[in-house]
Structure 1
Amino acid sequence: MKSILFGCLLLIISVSANDKPSFFNPCSMNDADTSSCVAENIERIIKLGKNGFELQDIPAIDPVFIDSAQTPDSSAAVTLKQKFTNFTFSGVSDMKIIDIKTNFVDKCQIKVKNSLPKAIIKGDYEANGRLLLFQVQGADKFEVIMNKIKVGTIINCEFYEKDNEKYFKILNIKFQLRPENGHMSFPNIIHNNKELSQTVNDLLNENFLDIFNEFKSTIQEKLEEKFSIIANKIIGDHPVKELFKVE
């Protein structure tokens, strides 16, 4: 999602605090080039962080691994409880930044518009309830493929002081995933009925965007939590002066 993305100030250190990463270009916090400088660093670090930051024991960001997520009560059309476990979100390293706005003057906030050509969510699922005209109860592997995704990201942060040094932390990260189209597969969604399960899957894909929008907030929230944890773990011991040019 980080999107994922989530990175302006994030994921920019993969070495010890005393070493400046050669791949990171410190940005000014106050001039007209701040946003473009931050954008270049985000894309660079997202790609370098694909397999994780080994020196700091930071997990890979592509794919992102999530233990579990469960949907809340749904709408009238989809009164279905779904539980996703041991699933991954992949595609983040192909992120391209379309637009970025940074504000470090009267608040600490970064807004990013990203695009992803493709993202894949896959893992284990359980489903129980009513989906359109069908009573479903099933469990198996699942896969959701999203194409041509627009991603809106808002990163809210705050500055604070510790030991006479200025630091910052991430308060929250918000994502909005807007795929143009996609495909989903939930085999065995009607337990032990392969033919009817296929019929349900056909209907899911005929109504892909409507169905995806029913449970995407669950996925987004878990991505937000995951990236916030990783980001704060990375930046927690690094003062602002190591991340930006401090005039």
Structure 2
Amino acid sequence: MLLTALLAVCCASGALATAVPFIKPCPIDDSPCILKAANAALPKFAQGRPEMGIEPLEPMYIKRMVNDNAGLKLTFTDNYIKGMSTCTISNLKSEILSKKSHTLTFKCPSIVIDGDYRIDGQLLLLTIQGHGKFKIDLRDVILKVTTQLGKVTGADGKQHFNIESWKNSFKVQTSAHFDFENLFNGNEVIAKSILEFMNTNWKDVLAEAGEPIHKAITGKAVEVAQKLYNYSSDDELYVL
């Protein structure tokens, strides 16, 4: 199921019929009920919810993802992320009453990202530079997201949940495959050697350069969840 829709649904899985009619009401900290309701409602969110300002979510579009540290400058632009509709929730913990937080763990069999890249610097002690089209294929991804919640008064005068902060962890279990066109200004001999090295050492490559990808994906998910919170007040979203 689509990651951003999953997070949004889990945030709304206590909704009353007048707010989000396709979601079964659940008590605010009843994690098993929320998990079941979320999976049942996902297709509605994946289609997009114009009334909430949520666009269709497959493929996911992210304008820019940047890794800029002392040794490596890497920018991805006009990114299309496909395969998010294969994600499912493997675990959910709703602790809004006790800790003001939601924690969700997602399993995604396949995530494919393509777009334009520009890279210059040191990657795993190797000099690398180039620009052009890229494709990254990730297999068996585990993504864990925790959101910390507060409340604000909405334009309707009611209390609405507000995501004050979030954190995530990201792990690729099976493999990652990288394809970057026009490395070293089209020098195919050097490019082939570098790509072979990257694909052999994919875990190390992701550890050093993968953060902008999973941070951007998680950020998009949080953005969708916040749109849902903006749309519905707390007593419309949960059985309080």
Alpha-carbon separation, structure 1, partners of 2:57 and 2:17: 24
Quote the residue 2:24 is aligned against: 25
Superposition deviation, residue 229 in structure 1: 2.4
Q: Secondary structure at the match of 1:168?
A: strand
Q: Does 1:9 align with 2:11?
A: yes
Within-5 A mapping of 1:210-225: 210-225=204-219
Structure (1/2) with the larger helix percentage: 2
Deviation at 1:100, TM superposition (A): 1.3
Question: Partner residue of 2:57?
Answer: 61
Which residue of structure 2 aligns with residue 172 of structure 1?
Answer: 165
Q: CA deviation at 1:2?
A: 6.9
| SS of structure 2 residue aligned to 1:9 | helix
- Report the Cα distance in structure 2 between the residues aligned to 1:204 and 1:196, rounded to whole angstroms: 12
Q: Is the 8 A contact 1:43 1:95 kept in 2?
A: no
Please state whether the residue corresponding to 1:236 is helix, strand or coil. helix
Q: Is the 8 A contact 1:50 1:63 kept in 2?
A: no
Partner in structure 2 of residue 142 of structure 1? 134
Given that residues 2 and 223 in structure 1 are in contact (C-alpha distance below 8 angstroms), is that contact kept between their aligned partners in structure 2?
no
Q: Deviations over 1:68-102 (max 9, x none)?
A: 1211216xxxx321110010222222222222111
* Letter of the 1:206 counterpart: T
Aligned-pair CA distance for 1:27: 0.8
Q: Unmatched 5+ residue regions in structure 2?
A: none
> What is the TM-score when the length of structure 2 is the normalising length?
0.86
Cα distance between partner residues in 1 of 2:221 and 2:106: 16
1:95-106 mapped onto 2 (5 Å cutoff): 95-106=87-98
CA distance, structure 2, for counterparts of residue 153 and residue 2 of structure 1: 14
Please state how far the C-alpha of 1:198 moved relative to its aligned partner. 1.5
Return the alpha-carbon distance in structure 2 between the equivalents of residues 29 and 212 of structure 1.
36
In 1, Cα distance between equivalents of 2:111 and 2:182:
23
Distance in 2, matches of 1:55 and 1:237, equals 8
Q: CA deviation at 1:10?
A: 5.0
- Retained in 2: the 8 A contact 1:29–1:245? yes
Shift of 1:12: 8.8
Q: Do the aligned partners of 1:146 and 1:183 also contact (CA within 8 Å) in 2?
A: yes
Retained in 1: the 8 A contact 2:124–2:205? no
Give how far 1:159 is off: 2.8
| Pick aligned residue for 1:230 from 207, 224, 233 | 224
User: Judging changes above 3 Å, is the alpha-carbon distance between structure 1 residues 178 and 161 closer, same or farther for their aligned structure 2 residues?
Assistant: same
- Please tell me the residue identity of whatever aligns with 1:25: K
Deviation at 1:23, TM superposition (A): 2.3
CA separation in 2, counterparts of 1:12 and 1:117? 28
Structure 2 SS opposite 1:150: strand
Instruction: Compute the RMSD of aligned alpha carbons.
Output: 2.6
Kindly state the Cα deviation for residue 138 of structure 1 after the two structures are TM-superposed. Answer: 0.9
Q: For residues 9 and 236 of structure 1, what CA distance do their matches in structure 2 show? A: 12
Q: 1:40 to 1:156 in 2, by over 3 A?
A: same
Contact 2:13–2:23 under 8 Å retained in 1: no
Does structure 1 retain, via aligned residues, the 8 Å contact 2:144–2:169?
A: yes
Distance between the aligned counterparts of 2:163 and 2:12, measured in 1? 9
Measure the CA separation in 1 of the matches of 2:168 and 2:25. Answer: 26
